[in-house]
Structure 1
Amino acid sequence: MLAGLDRPSAGKVTVSDQIVSGITKGVSFMFQADALLPWRSVVTNVSLGPIFNKVPQKDALEMARNWLRIVGLSGFEQHYPHQLSGGMRKRASLAAALINKPSILLMDEPFSALDVQTRSIMSNELLTLWERDRPTVLFVTHDLEEAIGLADKVVVITAGPGTVKAIFDIDLPRPRGALQEIRFQPRFLQLHQQIWEALRDEVQRTYARQGAPVAAKETIA
């Protein structure tokens, strides 16, 4: 709805105080699955955005090479997605999302399929890259630590139907630093407890609907 690809059943969606009535300009996506074309090399995948925006192919490829360098994929320009690890594919997807310098970046659990260590690294890299142009990021996640570590505002959604249950301002200073380190800070732990209090019932309700036994608090967390 924010991108203008769907319409709200009630109410309205605004971007920069303007009601969304068509396709919103300046929006990039990063999905759960890697949105990379398997028959194209990494560099030609990343160059697609500028090419669609009428940038000459030579210039688009140069832009793509620069972004691959920024995300740590220099030397892999001519590789294909199946030749990359999961973390490397996410870096390529992130470069493809950021190459057009979006004003809004929509991210749907982009790191959920990664192992814990790679996921933390990608979160840290996202924070570093965000500092370059500071787009508005709408980030969907089920990981509470990830939410607190990345966000300025955390919105807790009910299990279903999905409505806003609570909103928390994250007052951790920026630049944040490594997520692996700041998650032990007293304020981080305090925010974690406050948000978990709002989230706990929704997690238990989801488990109950799926027919699973309600787990202990430590297991759910």
Structure 2
Amino acid sequence: MGEPNPSRTPAATARAEDAARIDIVGLTKRFVTPKGETFTAIRDVTLTVEPGQFCAIVGPTGCGKSTTLAQVSGLEPPSSGSVQVGGHIVDGVTNGVSYMFQADSLFPWKTVLGNVMIGPVLLGTPKREATALAMDWLRRVGLAGFEDRYPHQLSGGMRKRVAMAAALINRPRILLMDEPFGALDVQTKAIMQTELLQLWEELRPSVLFITHDLDEAVALSDRVVIMTSSPGTVKDIFDIDLPRPRGDVQEIRHEKRFLEIQGQIWDSLKDEVTRAYQQTAGAAA
């Protein structure tokens, strides 16, 4: 018999899982406004995302959802509190993390293939191998045959597929998604959600998913976090007990249990949405 593969031992598996754990403790972020005033975007946010967990964050506009994501990615430093990924304090751009933004983040001068393969190339993968890997991921997201197109030659849904392939090609341990499907039409959005679930089931990164769409949050997630109106902090956390794999999200939304969970979360969320609306309406008056 050959030597055991150290990468498959229980200890190695445990280490790989721990590397995908996100611990947010007492996270606060303040900004200085153009008028020189201090604005607190989020305050004392505490949240844990377990390895391989799909966690959605919902809350009213301006509650600091995107700010929280920026702290986890290392793109912005916290004012106080901490973020740990894999047990290590985040003090810069975090390795093994992919970020999918709401707006298209594709390079307009690169082809579809060039956009998807840029991640492996930057990590030192030989060009031929990176090309083959990118071709495989384009096949997975249904874009085989579109390798030589440019982003402006694609529909919005197709550009999102390119972005999703680019985010997943390096098999990240953590995937951060900031309203990635918010600008899509209802039909395309449902297709993209189903495709995301299928790819996530295969790779199982830990996911922090920002959305304003409560149905989307429930259909995709293991856990839904409700944030308060500004300054944002965690109000409630709901565990989603819908069975996996979940299949077509359009069908999930008609299930009795889905409607029960959605209703419970909305009871918590609606007060924050109302409060945020009153704050902005008062400011505009």
Question: Above 0.5 in TM-score?
Answer: yes
**Partner residue, 1:99:** 169
> 2:121 aligned with 1:46, yes or no?
no
**Partner residue, 1:153:** 223
TM-score by length of 2: 0.72
Distance 1:176 1:160 in 2: 33
The runs of at least 4 aligned residues of structure 1 exceeding 4 Å deviation read none
Distance 1:5 1:87 in 2: 27
Task: Give aligned-pair identity as a percent.
Answer: 60
Greater share of residues in strand: 2
Unpaired runs of 5+ residues, structure 1, are: 213-221
Q: CA shift at 1:17, angstroms?
A: 2.6
**Structure whose CA Rg is larger:** 2
SS state at 1:106 partner: strand
Instruction: Return the match for 2:130 from 56, 60, 64.
Output: 60
**Partner residue, 2:191:** 121
- In structure 1, give the amino acid aligned to 2:183: A
> 2:200 aligned with 1:130, yes or no?
yes
Size of the aligned set, in residue pairs, is 212
Q: CA shift at 1:177, angstroms?
A: 1.5
Alignment of 1:1-221 (within 5 A): 1-211=71-281
SS state at 1:155 partner: strand
- In structure 1, give the amino acid aligned to 2:107: L
Distance 2:92 2:73 in 1: 8
Distance 1:41 1:23 in 2: 26
**Partner residue, 2:42:** none
SS state at 1:118 partner: helix
Distance 2:127 2:82 in 1: 38
CA RMSD of aligned residues (A): 1.2
Q: CA shift at 1:62, angstroms?
A: 1.2
Distance 2:205 2:218 in 1: 18
Distance 1:148 1:125 in 2: 16
Distance 2:142 2:279 in 1: 42
Q: CA shift at 1:157, angstroms?
A: 0.6
Q: CA shift at 1:195, angstroms?
A: 0.4
- In structure 1, give the amino acid aligned to 2:192: M
- In structure 1, give the amino acid aligned to 2:263: Q
Q: CA shift at 1:7, angstroms?
A: 1.8
Q: CA shift at 1:139, angstroms?
A: 0.2
- In structure 2, give the amino acid aligned to 1:52: L
Higher relative contact order (CA 8 A, sep 6+): 2
SS state at 2:82 partner: coil
SS state at 1:211 partner: helix
- In structure 1, give the amino acid aligned to 2:83: V
Distance 1:30 1:5 in 2: 13
Q: CA shift at 1:37, angstroms?
A: 0.6
Q: CA shift at 1:22, angstroms?
A: 3.3
Q: CA shift at 1:11, angstroms?
A: 1.5
SS state at 1:25 partner: coil
TM-score by length of 1: 0.93
